[in-house]
Amino acid sequence: MKDSSLLLYLERKVHDMLATVLNPLAPVRILDSESLPSPRELSPRGNENLEAGRGLSLEAQFYDQQQTVQNVVDYRECQSYRFEDVHVAGDQGYIYVGSQNLVSVCEEVKRIKLRKARRPIKWLRRKVDAPVFHLTGNNHESHGHFVLQHLPRLMAARDCLLANNEVKLLLAPNHLHWQRFYLERLGFGPERLLEGTPGTLHCCELEYIPFYHGQGNLVASKTYRAMRDLLAPDEPQEKGRFLFLSRKGTTHRALLNEEEVFRAVRYVWPKMELIDLKDFSSAEQVGLFQSARVVFGPHGQAFTNMLYTRDALMVVASASKVVGGWSAAFRNLAIQMGGTGIVLNAGVEGWKNMDNWNYPPDRLRTQLKTLQSMLPDKYR
């Protein structure tokens, strides 16, 4: 059973059954920005060219490009909506005015299939009298999405929220045990944290900041650096570590020949350590990445921890044939934190996003030899 309590499980099932029956008969109605009062503007839309003034990037040199890779991070305007007397339905926290009108001012909400959207059930609702800040949404269960996309929403309102102790942070159910680490370091004690429900929550007063990252998955460097200063305030106990991030034992995107890849990587970096982050607490992971000089590994959310670095090289091993998606986002995060990054593409034929894979050994050795010849001294 996915949920830890029978009550949550039953709430989930009842709401899913209602959605299956009701959505085809009385479809959800959309409330977009034209249908709602104007939001409060917190910051404007923008972009930053991560390679501006840096010359030809390591990745551009590696792939023999004549100009730098255009690592541009685009982000939307950050806006705050305030609601009274609304319902929040499901783990993703869909906001309803009434029982049928879904607030859809966020690109992530616009992507959902309305026929599957959970609907509020008034007679099963729980009521929250305290003011609430909405901090759930799509992909709330992922460390990478939570840290790099959800927490920037909180950072945009952090000062105001800290000034009002009555406001609770609304979180998806069953994830408080790991999300608490980040929230407490950002200044919000356990008394401020409120787990939601897969069912219906009635909120008398709710503040909602839609996701504002762009297609590259990230927001501005200044936001992530402000987060780093709060999440990793202490100086690292040691520096200059070389970390190989294992994905052994994962159910998807596992690197099947990981041991062979690790041996090849150690020819370039003899001090490389094989690290499985499951063996480290969240606090220990902070210290680990603060001390990193080089981080290598197969594509995965472990690279979210590049947020704690300051001048590190990140090398993402990707099964794909092209540089893009979250691999490129993690490379950009390393640059935003003051370091650099490169994506090594394995070019696995027929690979799909969730597939396990093997890195072709000959291709990898050739790529590592080329990369080694280009490395700045500080990353050797």
Q: Tell me: the pLDDT tens digits for 276-295?
A: 999 999 999 999 999 999 99
Look over the chain and give the mean of its residue pLDDT values, rounded to a whole number. 93
pLDDT at 16: 86
What is the band of 217 on the pLDDT scale with cuts at 50, 70, 90? very high
Q: Tell me: the pLDDT tens digits for 91-150?
A: 999 999 988 999 999 999 998 888 888 999 998 899 999 999 999 999 999 999 999 999
Domains identified in the chain, total number: 2
The CATH number linked to 366 is 3.40.50
Task: Please state, for a pLDDT cut of 90, what percent of the chain lies above it.
Answer: 77
Please report whether residue 69 resides in a domain.
Answer: no
Please report whether residue 61 resides in a domain.
Answer: no
Other C-beta atoms closer than 10 Å to the C-beta of 375 total 14
- Does 276 lie in the same domain as 146? no
What's the mean pLDDT in 309-315? Answer: 96
Tell me the residue range of the domain where 199 lies. 6-44+76-229
- Does 211 lie in the same domain as 262? no
- Does 208 lie in the same domain as 166? yes
What's the mean pLDDT in 212-231? Answer: 96
- Does 314 lie in the same domain as 297? yes
- Does 149 lie in the same domain as 104? yes
Among 198, 229, 260, the domain-final residue is: 229
pLDDT at 143: 94
Q: Tell me: the pLDDT tens digits for 262-271?
A: 999 999 999 9
- Does 330 lie in the same domain as 309? yes
Please report whether residue 284 resides in a domain.
Answer: yes
Please report whether residue 51 resides in a domain.
Answer: no
pLDDT at 66: 55
- Does 318 lie in the same domain as 212? no
Please report whether residue 50 resides in a domain.
Answer: no
pLDDT higher than threshold 80 for residue 56: no
pLDDT at 1: 38
pLDDT at 331: 95
Q: Could you tell me the pTM of the whole model?
A: 0.94
pLDDT higher than threshold 90 for residue 152: yes
- Does 80 lie in the same domain as 35? yes
Please report whether residue 49 resides in a domain.
Answer: no
Please report whether residue 63 resides in a domain.
Answer: no
- Does 185 lie in the same domain as 85? yes
pLDDT at 238: 81
Please report whether residue 291 resides in a domain.
Answer: yes
- Does 271 lie in the same domain as 217? no
pLDDT at 53: 67
Among 179, 198, 229, the domain-final residue is: 229
Among 179, 195, 229, the domain-final residue is: 229
- Does 197 lie in the same domain as 123? yes
- Does 255 lie in the same domain as 125? no
What is the band of 359 on the pLDDT scale with cuts at 50, 70, 90? very high
